[in-house]
Every structure is written in structure tokens, then in C-alpha cells.
Structure 1
Amino acid sequence: DLLGRARGLHTTADSIVVTTGSIHGLDLALGALSANVGVEHVLALENPGYRAAAALATHRGWSVHDIPVDREGLVVDELESVPHGTPAVYVTPSHQYPTGGLMPVGRRRALADWARSTGTTIIEDDYDSEFRYGIAPLTTVTELVPDRAVYLGTVSKTLGAGVRLGWMVAPPSMVERITDTRRAIGDFPSVPVQQAMTSLLRDGEWDRSVRTARRIYRARDRVVAAALAPFGELRGVGAGLHTVLVLDADVARDIAADCADNGVDLPTLAHSTRSPTTDGGIVVGYGSVADDRFERALRVLVDALEKRSVS
């Protein structure tokens, strides 16, 4: 019901696997795909992108093939560069991490068409999809090509990172393979946590929690945009829990260092980039932080930017 109501994803119980989060779901998907013989195990990944996904793929013995991103997320045309027979591509179309790109419907359709024509599996991470501020929800890639997609979700952004619970939607054949493996090794999420989540959904507390969080983060999104707009191009505004201020890589590094000297840790795009680039920026996250810490961190960043502008 949640997936259909909130994500527009039409599925059945035999296509759903309960996980401990998105990375766990990615691990299960890669494990199932690893059973395919006769193909090179290559995961196409957004670059810059989620470093934990690349680390997991490498740990599993997969090769990683970087695909550039732009303001609209993963550049689908660049997928032509991946080795023939690549079994999977990992993508965060709802709010690309870290650049904040929102993949439009046309590009989602192009990605679905590419997966269908090449036999590639799309692993769609539902990153930040709960948090859209005046932006209408878009059709998931999984809904466009359900037989060639795996959909990952988590409650960590809404209920807190300590709540290790998520879900994946996958073709029934993959679910069956995953279920057999899990039975053999006992790899299952906490039953009490699952029961608690069921109660939250049944009693409407989940929806209320999401609405409350969305209201808080919408306000922070606006504050960040207003404070940083004078200093350059902003990306990711209007969705998610972070905004990117686009800067030259060297400038971003210096600004981040100034902030660190004042006790504020702000990653740059370079932290999530696996190949050298002159493109850069500051990633300003505003989730899971108290109001006073948020306000101080933003003040420290603005001071560093103003100092840089004057010098």
C-alpha cells in the first residue's frame, strides 16, 4: 500500500523483500546477479555518486564503470560506453547524491528503454524521494520497466539512521533466488522493528512523521537557498536533504577547510568523485541536525564564502 500510494509503484507481495536499508538491498541484488554466468560483473555507477555503493561492488568482486551526471542526474547517453553485457546500473533518480539532480520523465524513459534493449538490470535507489517541496512525484524507473529493475527504499531518512529497515522490489525470479540465500544464512531484519513499522503504517503515524519531517526540511531548504544564492549556482533545491553550491574544485576545497577550522564538516563534490575533475562544489546537508547546530553551520559557511569573496 505504501509503495503504491506514495511512490506510484504497483507491485505484489511476491516481488517485495524486507531489508535493513538500501545498501543491504544493493548487496542482495548484486549477490543475486552474481549467479549469472557468462557475463562480466560490472556495475555502472553515477560519478560523482554514492561511495558506499562503489565500495560494496568492489568488495563483492565487481568492476565499477563511472557514468557522468549533469543537472538531470545520470547521463543516459553515456551508458553506451559501458562494456557489452554489463549486468547492472545503479542510479538515484529522485535526488541524485551528491549533485541533487532530479531525473525528468523523458530521461527515465530513455534509461528504461536502454535497460530493456541491452538486458541490463537497473538498481533504482529511492534516495530522498519522500522529500519534495512543491515538486510533483515522478514515475519511478521501476514502474516503467519492472522486469528489468530493482527498487530500493529505506526508512532511515524519516525515522532516523539507527532504524535499520528498508525494502526492495524486484522481479519474482530474483526474489526467489534472494529468499533461498537468506534462508541458508539467516539474513533477516529484526522482527520487532518490522512489527513496529507495521504499527506505524496501520495507525497513520508513518504519514504524520513524513509530513512533519517534510515541513521542517522544506523550511531549511528555503533558508539554505536564500543564504547561499548570492555566492553561485545552487543545485538540488526543492527536494531532498541537501543542496550543492557549485564552485571550482580548488575553491570548494579551501572553503571546506575554512569551515572545518571552525568545527563544521562540509563535504565537497570531490569526496564523492572517483576520477579527477575541475568541477566542484560544497554539499550542504541539513537532515538529522538540531536547529542551533544547523544555524551555526550555515553561518560559518556564509562567513567563509564572504571572506573568500572579499579577498
Structure 2
Amino acid sequence: MSTNWSTFGIDLHVEFNAGAGRRDGLEHALRDAIRAGRLAPGTRLPSSRALSTEIGLSRGTVSAAYDQLVAEGYLTSRQGSGTSVAEISPQRTGAPPEGGDDVTPRYDLRPGRPDVTTFPAAAWLRSTRRVFSTVPAAALGYGWPGGTVELRTALAAYLGRTRGVLAGPDQIVITTGYVQALALLAGIVGAGERPLIAMEDPGFAFHRNVVRRAGAGVLPLPVDARGARTGLLTTTAYDGTGAVVVTPAHQYPTGATLHPDRRRSLTDWARSTGGLIIEDDYDGEFRYDRQPVGALQGTAADHVAYLGTAAKTLAPGLRLAWMVLPPHLVGPVTDAKLHADHHSETLAQLILADLITSHAYDRHVRARRLRYRHRRDLLVSRLGAASARGRQGGVRVEGIAAGLHAMIGLPPGGPDEPEVLERARARGLALDSLGEYWHGGGADRPQGVIVGYGTPPQHSYPAALDALAAVLGASRIGTS
């Protein structure tokens, strides 16, 4: 039978099979709960007197069960401290998820991850206190699907002055992340007369899957040193394309910036066809060679859905992102958001709004920009690159004018990506290969590795770069 007890001041649950014998049943119930991890190490159990009263067994029976589990190492008992769950590893209930990595790398240089150790906890707490001192009780209830007016207003001002985005609060919808924003838009495009979405090639494979699951088709849009080849959108190969997803400020993963001619070509396509440009501005705040490139949205506000997120500037765990939409899409997207999850978490929105309006967010972004630039410079220096433009001499490091990652091209004569990644794994180093990002395979595809410099803690970052340099040196890459 299922038994709960709470006399000790905590609620615990065990599956107690009284038919197995009173003492044996209790022993098995506690043992199974500890093995499965339902009773965590350090959990203090009720006294034998309290538990015997709760489950109707004698105190002696409970004491004997406790003593047996202490002898087996499942429990610990100290005079004056009561009985607690011992430090043991819970049983695994199955294989790790498909695609999951059961081994934590010693050095994590995978891209797409910020340095979460720099989260502005003190500023966040100050904003939290201000919010709770003024927030009405109604703010804790169900909210509008598009998000709080406080955050939408703060974002409209912030994005206007920092990214050149043209929008009022009524054009902004708050989501739980870029993935949800992309899925909502893909669902609307997929249900339209032109249900295909062009996506950069190479690009993030997971995002392609998000689009397909939302009901839209995917067409690859090639990328070169000038960014996405947007002129191709007017060819017959892209008939039926209702939207295109681009990362114009810093292409992912090559790092290219969309050339001005191609920006104009893209907005011309949108105006002439009524197509939608989905602008992924995932790390647009982090530009190192000049002022950040303004958002594409600022040149074609009626044809661009601008998507931004706090994942790179603050932390992915906040689950806060935003869409700046053309007016005709606000209603459909808000309705789709309503039926997806009703609305995003409210309190974090209010706290972020305060962080922005108090300018603590600006100060944090500036500090992170300097920190990441230093990391970028150290990466180039350690690898012996002659220049950020890839001149001869040293490893060819590309796409480092902005963002939190770089691409290292591999020479045609080898070694190939699997060989480099295997050598990296042997040194406890995690990287991504460029091959993971192509829409399809092919022998003519350029090869390379993608290095993220946001994740490693500050104290281990130099050692991570030493390991990377050793891997590339052992692979005889880029020596002059």
C-alpha cells in the first residue's frame, strides 16, 4: 500500500507492502525508495516513534528495520542527529536518452553556450526586490499571451536604441525561447499558401526539425563568405517559399555577416513577394570590430519578424525571448501562443523589465562584451593565427568579428572532422564539427570544427585553449 507520513515535519512517500511481513515490508519500501533516488542522500527520516505511529507498526519493528538498513549502508544513525539517508548512488532506470552524452567533458568548447557563471545575480536580486515591493497581486494570475506590458515597453525602447529595431510595445510578443518563437511562426507559414521556409546552409539542424514539426517545409539557402545567398530566392528553385530564416549579424555557424547588397536583395524579395523574413539575432549585442550591425528589421519593419533572446546575454535557463512582429502577424502569433502554453512566466518578465529600465542590463552586456572579446583574442593568440581575416600563417580562424564562437577550417588534404574530434575527445575536449550543420552530405563540402569560447569557467579557459592547440598541432592543421 502507498503510505505517506508527515509527523516529523516533512512529507515522505513509500510503497509499503504489508503482506510481505511488517518489518520486511518496511525495509523493502525504504530500500527501494533510496535506490531509486526518491529519498535523496542526507534526507532525515522520522523518528522510530513518529513513524510507528504513522504507519501502525510497533516502535520495535521500525527500529529493527532502521538498524538493518544502517547495517546495509542505506541509512546512517548518529546519537542526537537521528537517522538519515546515506550517500549512495541511485540506480539508473534505463539507458541515457538517445543522443545524450553520459560523460561530461573536461573542457567544453561547444558553441551556442554562454558563460552562465557571469549571470548578474546581485543586479537580478535588486530588481527582484523592487518588483516585489510594487507588483500588484493580479500580476501573479494568468497574463496576456503576448507578455507583460512592462517588459514589452522596456524592450521596445532598448531594441530601438541598441539594435535599430522599429516597433512599439504592441508589436512585441514574449516567448519561452527562440525555439518557441520559430515554431509559432513556422506553424503560421506552414498553414499558408506558400508553406516552404528557406533556411541557411549550413545552419542549426535542430531548428530545421522545429520548422518541419510545426508543419512547414525546408529549403536550403547556401551561405558563403558574404552570408546567405539571398539572390537565389528569386529563382524557380524557391517557388512556394513563404519565409526565410537568416542570422544576418553573425551567421551560425560560419560567423559571416550578411553583406549590404544581400540585405537589400533580401528585403526586395520580401516586398515584391509578400514573403516573411525571420531574423534570428541570437548574439547581435556582441560585436568586437566595430559597433554592432543594426538589425535588418529596421530597414523593412513590415516584412521582418525580429527574434531576440536573453539566453546569450543572461542565461538560457531564464526561458525568455521576444518577437518583434509586423502588425499583421501580431494577432495570429498571439493566438498561437495562447494555445501553445497560454503565456510565459510573469515574474521573470517583470524582473527583466526592471533590469532593462534601470540600465543594469546595459552595464551587464557591456561587461560581457569585453569579457568575450578578451576570450576571442586569447583564442586567436593561442592558435597562432596571423590575422582574423585568415591570411597565411597559423590556424585559419573565421567568423570572429562577433559572437561567442569561431570556425576553424580544415585543409582539403586532411585530417578530416572525425579524426580531429576523436583526438579532441581523447584530451577531454568537446567541439562541434561543421558537418553537423549541412542540410545534406557531400564530398565537396568544406570541413571544419566549431569552437565556442563562452562556456568554460575563467580559470580553466587557458587550459582548454592549450588542449585545443595541441589537438590542432597534432593534426598538422594550418602550419605555415
Counterparts of residues 136-285 of structure 1 (less than 5 Å)? 136-228=291-383, 229=385, 230-248=393-411, 251-277=416-442, 278-285=445-452
Q: State which structure, 1 or 2, has the greater radius of gyration over its C-alpha atoms.
A: 2
CA contact (8 A) 2:186 2:215 kept: no
CA, structure 1 residues 157+168, in 2 after alignment: closer, same or farther (shift >3 Å)? same
Find the aligned partners of 2:432 and 2:411 in 1 and give their Cα distance.
Answer: 14
Q: 2:224 corresponds to which residue?
A: 70
Give the Å deviation of 1:301. Answer: 1.3
Higher helix share: 1
CA distance in 2, matches of 1:74, 1:97: 11
Deviates more, 1:46-55 or 1:175-184: 175-184
Judged with a 3 Å threshold, the aligned counterparts in structure 2 of structure 1 residues 273 and 141 are, in CA distance, closer, same or farther, namely same
TM-score by length of structure 2 reads: 0.62
Q: Secondary structure at the match of 1:244?
A: strand
Is 1:125 matched up with 2:280? yes
In structure 2, the partner of 1:299 is 466
Say if 1:234 and 1:245, in contact at 8 Å, map to a contact too.
yes
What does residue 117 of structure 2 align with? none
Alpha-carbon distance change, 222 to 185 in structure 1, aligned in 2, over 3 angstroms: closer
Aligned length: 309
Deviation at 1:186, TM superposition (A): 4.1
Q: Distance in 2 between matches of 1:83 and 1:181?
A: 27
Alpha-carbon contact 2:286-2:292 (below 8 Å) kept: no
1:31 maps onto 2:187 in alignment: yes
Structure 1 position 78, deviation (Å)? 2.7
Quote the offset at 1:4 in angstroms. 0.4
Q: C-alpha distance in 2, partners of 1:170/1:246?
A: 36
Q: For structure 2, which runs of at least 5 residues remain unmatched after alignment?
A: 1-156, 386-392
Q: CA deviation at 1:147?
A: 1.5
- C-alpha contact (below 8 Å) 1:17/1:169 kept by paired residues: yes
| Distance across 2 between alignment mates of 1:295 and 1:220 | 9
Letter in 1 for 2:425: A
Compared with structure 1, are the counterparts of its residues 306 and 25 closer, same or farther at alpha carbon in structure 2 (3 Å cutoff)?
A: same
Question: What corresponds to 1:309 in structure 2?
Answer: 476
Q: Partner of 1:2: helix, strand, or coil?
A: helix
In structure 2, what is the Cα distance between the partners aligned to 1:93 and 1:23?
18
Task: Give me the CA root mean square deviation.
Answer: 1.9
Task: State yes or no: 1:17 paired with 2:180.
Answer: no
Q: Deviations over 1:48-71 (max 9, x none)?
A: 102221010111232211111112
Please, which runs of 5 or more residues in structure 1 have no aligned partner? none
Instruction: Note if contact 1:109-1:141 (Cα within 8 Å) is conserved in structure 2.
Output: no
Given the alignment, which residue of 450, 453, 469 partners 1:286?
Answer: 453
- What is the TM-score of this pair, normalised by structure 1? 0.93
Equivalent of 2:204, from 50, 61, 66? 50
Aligned residue runs from structure 1 range 110-121, under 5 A: 110-121=265-276
Deviation at 1:137, TM superposition (A): 2.6
What percent identity do the matched residue pairs reach?
Answer: 36
How far did 1:248 drift?
4.0
Further displaced range: 24-33 or 3-12: 24-33
